[in-house]
A and B are shown apart, each in its own frame.
Chain A
Amino acid sequence: MKSDHRFWPPLLMVAVIALTPWLGSEIVSPSALADPNELSIFVTFRVPRLLLGLLAGAALSIAGCLFQAVLRNPLADPFTLGVSSGAALGAVIVIFLDIAWIWTGSTLGAMAALGLIASMFIRQRRISATGLVLAGVSVNSVCASFIILLQSVSGFAKSFSVTTWLVGSVDSLAYSSLAFYAAVIVPLMLWIVWKAPDWDLLSMGDAWAAGRGVPVRTLLVQACLAGSILTAATVSLTGPIGFVGLIVPHLVRHRTGASHRVLIPAVLFCGAAFLATCDALARTVLRPAEIPVGVITALIGGPGLIWILRSERSHL
């Protein structure tokens, strides 16, 4: 029963890789790639977009899973915690100031947002689901207000580019940016997978983990840093895409149980498959027009979350 969870998530991802790149404003058939023109379009646009979808989906899902484990709260994810909004605000400030350092801006923003949340629960390491959501809502709205403020004082063109970026979308990127992104997030994700037994213990409580010899404080700081960097790197490329880190771990946990040795690798593959699929839908449904992928994830994720809350509580 256990081993079967080791196989289906990678298979799911492989299926998505095999099926989705052909979809888009134009449906390409594999045989058309014999034409060098078609092939070059495919390699310059479709493939990097697929790769970004896979990487960003994996990163957001793993970050969500990590936050849920260390905060012991099934509602924690980069979006609900306000980490995504923080990263977005950081990035918008950087865009507004016409500096090219979106990564730096979003990373600092993400850490500031998480720091704000952390200051709430650092004293008493127990934060209720309500407290968490309220804190996230307030961080989100503060960030949103600042972004609107910045937009209203900036010119029309800049404001428009910020708006489209804010909905969250997966676009074709240069391979060099993709490589840089992968170089940042892949080691982090591998580290999170490798530390799975620690997340198991931490999700049972700090005292429980410490009694088994887990260095709780060090690990918490490392987890928060890792989660913020994953989120910030992703947000700076795609804009804030919501619900991925919430919905994917929930659906996967439903099947695999809470053991992170099984859960985290499964979430990695399923998250990648999920966002790549959503992006394929986003560019196909209203062909030739495109919907931002953030709209699709929210349309699936919002009702999905309500369904999860109704069907079963405390699933962490």
Chain B
Amino acid sequence: MTAALYSLQSVRYCRAAAGEVVREVSLSVAPGEFVALCGLNGAGKSTLLEIMAGLLAGYGGACKFDDRELARWNPRELARSVSFLPQSAEPAARFTGIEVVRMGRYPFGAGWGESEKDVRICAEAMHLAGCEELRDRFVNQLSGGERQRVLFAAVLAQQPRVLLLDEPGTFVDLPHQIQMFRTLRQLCLEQNLACVTATHDLNLAASFCTRIVLLDRGRVVVDAPPAEALPGDAFRRVFGNHVRVEKSAEGSVRVHYEI
């Protein structure tokens, strides 16, 4: 068992308008893990990711990355290891695809000059994200899903040890969503990255993730591999009668919508 990258102990966070949105969350994430963060709207998924990405100061409890409290990380230094895809990036700006992807190299000092290595990394990231054809298009003229794939490529170009993704599949068509999750799983299993992604797609989570964490009103109510987590009572309690989980003979699980 390798040492955990992230370890969270009783993390709490209050938002001025919404009260306590994250309550007593304890969690650890090790290299090679692909964690799906599930839960209803307002369950605290985004807030938890923002805390882990170092965006929110003033949380309670302990949240350590690499055995160092997040508050003591310098933002640029942290960004060399942790790459965060927020829910609300607004590329209304007239940047080209490659200009956005290059932003992923910012923490390594590639603000002005660009090494051959940076060029290669950006091209690879665009290939992995399946958005090479968007290289020279203006992002403000792309569709929502195309834009999201460009942002995903930028996050990959950061070459982090941990990916924190807030609903990366938003607006993305199904084939590209599947490709995205397959890429993430490969990165986790083959290159020993860790990935925590908030998602509403339980089937993608079941098929690709190694672990599912279910948040309910700010608390972790389930933390287990998909085959154990999805059929459990906690899932039914949170999602009501709207989902039905089917277990196949080989142990994989499928989620059906009850309409």
Contact = CB atoms under 8 A, between A and B. Distances in A.
Interface stretch (A19-27, A108-116, A210-218, A233-241): A210-218
Contacts of A196: 111-112
B104 A72 contact: no
A204 B100 contact: yes
A207 B78 contact: no
A198 B99 CA distance: 13
Contacts of B119: none
Contacts of B55: 207, 210-211
Interface in A33-63: none
Interface size class of A (residues with CB under 8 A): 20 to 34
A261 interface: yes
Interface in B79-93: 79-80, 83-93
B93 A212 contact: no
Nearest to B89: A208
Nearest to A254: B94
A210 B54 contact: yes
Contact of A211 (B53, B80, B96): B53
A290 interface: no
Contacts of B99: 200, 257-259
B138 interface: yes
Contact of A200 (B75, B103, B138, B155): B103
Contact of A72 (B83, B90, B106): B90
Q: Chain A CB within 10 Å — which of B53, B78, B92 has the most? A: B92
Interface string B10-22: 0000000000000
Chain A interface, DSSP helix/strand/loop, else mixed: loop
B158 A261 contact: no
Nearest to B50: A207
Contact of A315 (B75, B78, B94, B111): B94
Interface string B123-135: 0000000000000
Interface string B61-89: 00000000000000111111001111111
B75 A215 contact: yes
Contact of A213 (B80, B85, B89, B95): B80
A203 B86 contact: no
Interface in A289-316: 314-316
A253 interface: yes
A205 interface: yes
A204 B85 CA distance: 12
B107 interface: yes
Interface in A226-261: 253, 257-259, 261
B26 interface: no
Nearest to B46: A207
B140 interface: yes
B89 A204 contact: yes
A253 B95 CA distance: 10
Interface in B120-151: 138, 140, 151
Interface in B136-177: 138, 140, 151, 155, 158, 164
Given A197-B103, A204-B89, 7 more contacts: A197-B111, A207-B86, A207-B88, A210-B53, A210-B75, A211-B55, A257-B138
Contacts of A210: 53-55, 75, 84
